[in-house]
Amino acid sequence: MKLKNIIIGITDCSKYSHYKNWMQNEPGVEIIKLSYHDKNLNDIQKCNGIIFSGGHDVHPRLYNKPEYLEFCDTKNIDEKRDEFEWRVLEHTQQNQMPVLGICRGLQFTNIFFGGSLIPDNISFGQPNHSKIEEVSDRYHDVKVKAGTILKKIVGDETGEINSAHHQSADNIGNGLAINATSSDGIIEGLEWELHEQKPFLLLVQWHPERMSNQKSIFSKNIKHGFLNAVRNGIQ
């Protein structure tokens, strides 16, 4: 059966090429980079689904904790990106578009729905989930909750994922629910609590687009689960 052609918007970041490469070889998939640098917010009208990529720390004023700024990487904050992606996310919700959020994408979406972040895991007594010596991703176990969309997609309740973040979700946004945690208690995934009544929304703290094993259920299945949801949403 011929697959439906779809257009996926991916928000811009310094490692945008990883996300593009992860998606562009899939049959029937066209990619649009969404970036305030290109002033192309209107291109979201062409998209069937959106990926919110990783990268910059989100400015803590967006979750009403401006005093957390000292714990952020201030050289790695881009308020223009925050503003642009806020508008992209507003559009996805107004138009019931499928969304996949990765790393910062999870954090940003959680904030959008009223949640908050741990601004720096180590400073707040949380486990270190950042890169190893800023060179390579960490790898650790993940536990997936039964009855979630994530469990349906990956088909297992345990596995190994990569990790490269110094911030984590703290308070969970309105309507969201945890679907995965690390063995040391960090939130690794979010989705709609009432996912059967909502458009597709999957947020993961790891980086499926650059896992060393691209055949892993935590990479391949995430990608195909998202693309299937996008295709199923086309009338």
Which CATH number goes with the domain that contains 12? Answer: 3.40.50.880
Q: How many domains does the chain have?
A: 1
User: Based on the number of CB atoms within 10 Å of its own CB, is 89 exposed (0-12), middle (13-18) or buried (19 or more)?
Assistant: buried
Is position 207 annotated as part of the catalytic site? yes
Handedness of CA 197, 53, 107, 184 (dihedral sign): positive
**By residue range, what is the domain housing residue 130?**
6-232
pLDDT tens digit sequence for 129-179: 777 766 688 888 999 999 999 999 999 999 999 999 899 999 999 999 999
Annotation says 37 is catalytic: no
pLDDT tens-place string over residues 199-221 = 999 999 999 999 999 999 999 99
Q: Active site residue: 85, 188, 191, 209, which one?
A: 209
1: in domain: no
Active-site position among 47, 56, 103, 165: 103
Give me the chain's average pLDDT, please.
94
Give catalytic status of residue 196 as yes or no.
Answer: no
In a domain, 168, yes or no: yes
33 pLDDT above the threshold of 90: yes
Residue 76 is assigned to a structural domain of this protein: yes
- Give me the pLDDT at residue 235, please: 61
Calpha distance 175→133 (Å, rounded): 36
Question: Which class for 158: exposed (0-12), middle (13-18), buried (19 or more C-beta within 10 A)?
Answer: exposed
Element housing 52 (H / E):
strand 49-52
Tell me which of 59, 129, 165, 207 is the catalytic residue: 207
